[in-house]
Amino acid sequence: MPRDTFNRASIRDSSSSPTIDPAPRRPLTFGSLLTVLPFLCLTAFFLCGFGPPTIVDRDVAPRQRFTVGQLGQIQQAHVAPPGISAVSVLVYDLETGSVLMNKAEQLPVSPASLAKLMTALLILEQDRLSDLVTIHGADLVGEAAMGLRAGEELFVEELLWGMLIPSGNDAAMALARHHSGLVESFVASMNLRAGDLGMYNTLFHNPHGFDADGQVSSAEDLLILVKLLWEYPLFREIVGTAATTVAGHELQTTNRLLGSYPGINGVKTGTTWQSGQSLIAGLEEGGHQLFALVLGSVDRYHDMRLVLQAVQGNYGWVPLQLPERPTALDRLFDTAGNRWFLRADGISIDPAALEAGPFFEALLSGWERQELQVFRRLHPPPSGVWITGMPAGVLEWRLGDTLIATQRLFVE
């Protein structure tokens, strides 16, 4: 009988008994489904294996693979921690140019006294710090103040200290007037400079940050200002000072994290009824500088601590450094039977430009550290015989599929 016609209904016994009809099919009930479901799940478990599930990009193989745990770490690394009230958050590493955490960083909000950062930039760029300024009564606008008096004379640099440490509105007004003649002209210069810098979510109406209809900025735009200002040693000195006396005025910083949170070295606070509490904090750790911004907060110091702790918990600097003593992998034998050892030169983030230094540090999150690998690519000489000091190839430090640093190899 052909195989495709075989079925149990055609089986007969030796006594030519009638055909055995199949038993009637029972409908599949919910109870019977529950009975077989555990066995189906168990079978699927063994078929799929015991390893952690992974997501694989198969457009071009091989590609980086992430476990479910790593994907969770990737997501958490950039997300602002729960329990913060700030409407906008941004954390930026200055050395690598990496955004480590972000939340609504382009959202326009009232900048409050963070507007004084643009005032400071224009004053520093004008570079007339030794000019003498006479204080006018119109400069004394109230609220946070350096404590100036009409008729008093101070140098531009002294007014910078009074504007940035206690967030003096009086000092900001005096600086604006001295810079441009009229405060209105200075505000126009503030907005012109903001446009030049690509601060497209920013508009200023005064030099000190009092709430005004339409006066806005964003964490992303304010970061542009901080990065430029950080290039001025005087600015770094001022915002890193907790208390001092300038021209007879005792100045106390408004940044309460300065001196109370390890590594904080600036930068500026901002507070109004409309904007809430804002804070830009600079943090130096292990010679590396980052900036954290929280805007529109109910409690900026609580929020900033949570943000910094989350970033410090998720990221760390990892040295790319080979063992000092040669290993078996560092030995080479040429065609003449001579034994050689490999040594590495300085390391470079850019394969085309070698930097001096015995090692380089990479800023990596927890999941990225598991993906860091080093590959050795040797270039034997055509003769097969090595000579002391001869280039032997390169070491490639890779993070998944991304080349992040190289080291030249030599024989000795």
Q: Report the 3 state secondary structure along 157-194.
A: HHHHHHHHCCCCHHHHHHHHHHHHCCHHHHHHHHHHHH
- The answer on 233 and 142 residing in a single domain is yes
- The answer on 59 and 128 residing in a single domain is no
CA distance 171 to 125: 17
**Cβ proximity of 172 and 204 under 8 Å:** no
Confidence at residue 139, expressed as pLDDT on a 0 to 100 scale: 96
The domain that contains 379 carries what CATH number?
2.60.410
Confidence at residue 260, expressed as pLDDT on a 0 to 100 scale: 96
- The answer on 257 and 355 residing in a single domain is no
Residue 112 included in any domain:
yes
Buried b / exposed e over 351-385, threshold 16 CB at 10 Å, is: eeeeeeeeebbbbbbbbbeebeeeeeeeeeeeeee
CA distance 407 to 343: 10
Confidence at residue 393, expressed as pLDDT on a 0 to 100 scale: 80
How many distinct structural domains can be found in the chain? Answer: 3
Residue 25 included in any domain:
no
> What Å distances lie between residue 335 and 127, 152, 223, 255, CA to CA?
66, 85, 58, 67
Confidence at residue 240, expressed as pLDDT on a 0 to 100 scale: 98
User: Is residue 103 flagged as an active site residue?
Assistant: no
Residue that terminates a domain, selected from 31, 61, 81? 81
What pTM was computed for the model?
A: 0.72
Query: 3-class secondary structure for 348-377?
Result: ECECCECCCCCCEEEEEEHHHHCCEEEEEE
CA distance 43 to 63: 29
- The answer on 100 and 73 residing in a single domain is no
Residue 159 included in any domain:
yes
CA distance 164 to 145: 10
Going by C-beta distance under 8 Å and a sequence separation of 6 or more, which residues neighbour residue 251? Answer: 146, 161, 162, 165, 166, 241, 243, 244, 245
CA distance 392 to 412: 10
Residue that terminates a domain, selected from 264, 286, 314? 314
Please list the pLDDT of the chain residue by residue as tens digits (412 residues): 433 333 333 323 333 333 334 444 445 454 554 454 444 443 343 333 333 322 222 233 334 444 434 444 444 556 778 889 999 999 999 988 999 999 999 999 999 999 999 999 999 999 999 999 999 999 999 889 999 999 999 999 999 999 999 999 999 999 999 999 999 999 999 999 999 999 999 999 999 999 999 999 999 999 999 999 999 999 999 999 999 999 999 999 999 999 999 999 999 999 988 889 999 999 999 899 999 999 999 999 999 999 999 999 888 887 776 555 555 556 666 676 666 666 666 544 443 333 333 446 777 777 677 777 777 788 778 877 777 778 878 778 787 777 777 777 777 7
Q: Which is nearest to 93 in space by CA: 262, 303, 297, 314?
A: 314
- The answer on 111 and 236 residing in a single domain is yes
Confidence at residue 52, expressed as pLDDT on a 0 to 100 scale: 30
Catalytic residue (choose from 113, 275, 348, 365): 113
Going by C-beta distance under 8 Å and a sequence separation of 6 or more, which residues neighbour residue 352? Answer: none
Residue 5 included in any domain:
no
Catalytic residue (choose from 167, 180, 217, 218): 167
User: Is residue 383 flagged as an active site residue?
Assistant: no
- The answer on 136 and 181 residing in a single domain is yes
Residue 23 included in any domain:
no
Confidence at residue 62, expressed as pLDDT on a 0 to 100 scale: 36
- The answer on 150 and 66 residing in a single domain is no
Catalytic residue (choose from 88, 103, 110, 116): 116
Look up the domain containing 74 and give its range: 52-81
Confidence at residue 328, expressed as pLDDT on a 0 to 100 scale: 53
Residue with tokens 């959202």: 107
Transcribe 267-285 into DSSP letters: EEEEEETTTEEEEEEEEEE
Residue that terminates a domain, selected from 63, 81, 99? 81
**Cβ proximity of 12 and 19 under 8 Å:** yes
Confidence at residue 380, expressed as pLDDT on a 0 to 100 scale: 79
- The answer on 193 and 165 residing in a single domain is yes
The answer to whether 103 is a known ligand-binding residue is no
- The answer on 205 and 151 residing in a single domain is yes
Going by C-beta distance under 8 Å and a sequence separation of 6 or more, which residues neighbour residue 124? Answer: 160, 229, 232, 234, 235
- The answer on 297 and 175 residing in a single domain is yes
Q: Which is nearest to 279 in space by CA: 271, 365, 148?
A: 271
- The answer on 337 and 258 residing in a single domain is no
- The answer on 275 and 378 residing in a single domain is no
3-state secondary structure of 210: coil
Residue 18 included in any domain:
no
User: Is residue 116 flagged as an active site residue?
Assistant: yes
Residue 39 included in any domain:
no
**Cβ proximity of 97 and 253 under 8 Å:** no
Residue 301 included in any domain:
yes
Buried b / exposed e over 217-231, threshold 16 CB at 10 Å, is: bbbbbbbbbbebbbe
Residue 135 token pair: 């204080």
The domain that contains 299 carries what CATH number?
3.40.710.10
